[in-house]
Amino acid sequence: MCQREYSGAGGRNTVERSLHSFIHSFRLCTLSTMSVYNSFFKDSSLLWTSVLCSAFSVWTLVQGEVLVIGSNLPIIAAPGDDVILPCHLEPMFDVQGMTVEWSKPDLKPDPSDRLSRVEYVHLYRDRKEVPDMKMASYFRRTELFMDDMKHGNISLKILNVSEEDNGRYRCFIPKLQSRVKPAVVELLVGEKICFGTFLFSTHFQTFM
């Protein structure tokens, strides 16, 4: 198995470290901004007004937003592997009572059939899976980490993957009070892909 697995949502210490890191980075950014602004604004009152407005905008975004975070890198696996498509919320947020949808956004309904709809890879609603609305090819092959959902972990595990599972997967929470509700994770399945990744990793490590 060559998947780069995801460890799940972090605990309180991770959140605190992230917050401290943000505050430290923001202080450095503010000092840098002041030095640049000084060359443009001779009026100190205008300078501080600009800095404070910027600080308020950044703090409002961070304080009021719960973000759905996926993976910027594709998940690579060989046929027959069990894979985890990583997705979690930051900051940590309990989603046990919410709807979680995993789907393949590149699949579209049949335009000639008004009643056709795109089925889900995995649908969680009312604190349980809804198998009646999932794609037949994923039946009994997907699962969420139920015990970790209270920590914001909504990663999807897919069993026994094949090349037919290749593509983009969309994780979506419809009722999340946030401007960033979905996240997309790409899955690449194939013997050649996995073997090529192994060779690249081995070759790269020889130069470390």
Q: Is the pLDDT of residue 22 over 80?
A: no
- Same domain, residue pair 39 and 87: no
| Residue 131 in domain | yes
Q: Are residues 83 and 22 in the same domain?
A: no
Residue 4 lies in a domain: no
The predicted model gives 32-45 an average pLDDT of 41
Classify residue 174: in a domain, yes or no.
Answer: yes
pLDDT band at 110 (very low <50, low <70, confident <90, very high): low
Cβ atoms < 10 Å from Cβ of 196: 13
- The residue that leads in pLDDT, 113 or 35, is 113
53 domain residue, yes or no: yes
In a domain, 87, yes or no: yes
* pLDDT band per the 50, 70, 90 thresholds, residue 72: very high
- Report which residue type is found at 152: G
The reply to whether 89 and 154 lie within a common domain is yes
Write out the residue range of the structural domain in which residue 46 sits.
12-64
CA distances to 18, 90, 109, 118 from 24, rounded to whole Å, are 10, 19, 48, 45
Does 38 share its domain with 94? no
Is the pLDDT at 68 greater than 60? The verdict is yes
Report pLDDT for 204. Answer: 41
Q: What is the CATH number of the domain that holds 71?
A: 2.60.40.10
Residue 208: pLDDT band with limits 50, 70, 90: low
**Beta strands 83-85 and 167-172, pairing class:** unpaired
Least confident of 45-49, 56-60, 91-95, 116-120: 56-60
Total count of domains within the chain: 2
What value does the mean pLDDT of the chain take? 74
Q: Are both 49 and 139 inside the same structural domain? A: no
Calculate mean pLDDT across residues 29-54. 41
Res 25 pLDDT > 80: no
Q: For residue 12, with 0-12 CB atoms within 10 Å meaning exposed, 13-18 middle and 19 or more buried, which class applies?
A: exposed
Looking at per-residue confidence, does 149 or 41 come out higher? 149
For residues 50 and 71, membership in a common domain is answered with: no
DSSP 97: T
pLDDT digits (tens, 9 = 90+) for 186-199: 999 998 776 555 44
**b/e burial code for range 100-127 (CB count within 10 A of at least 16 → b):** bbbbbeeeeeeeeeeeeeebbbbbbeee
Judge if 179 and 79 occupy the same domain. yes
Q: What digits encode the pLDDT tens for the residues 165-175?
A: 999 999 999 98
Domain assignment of residue 98, yes or no = yes
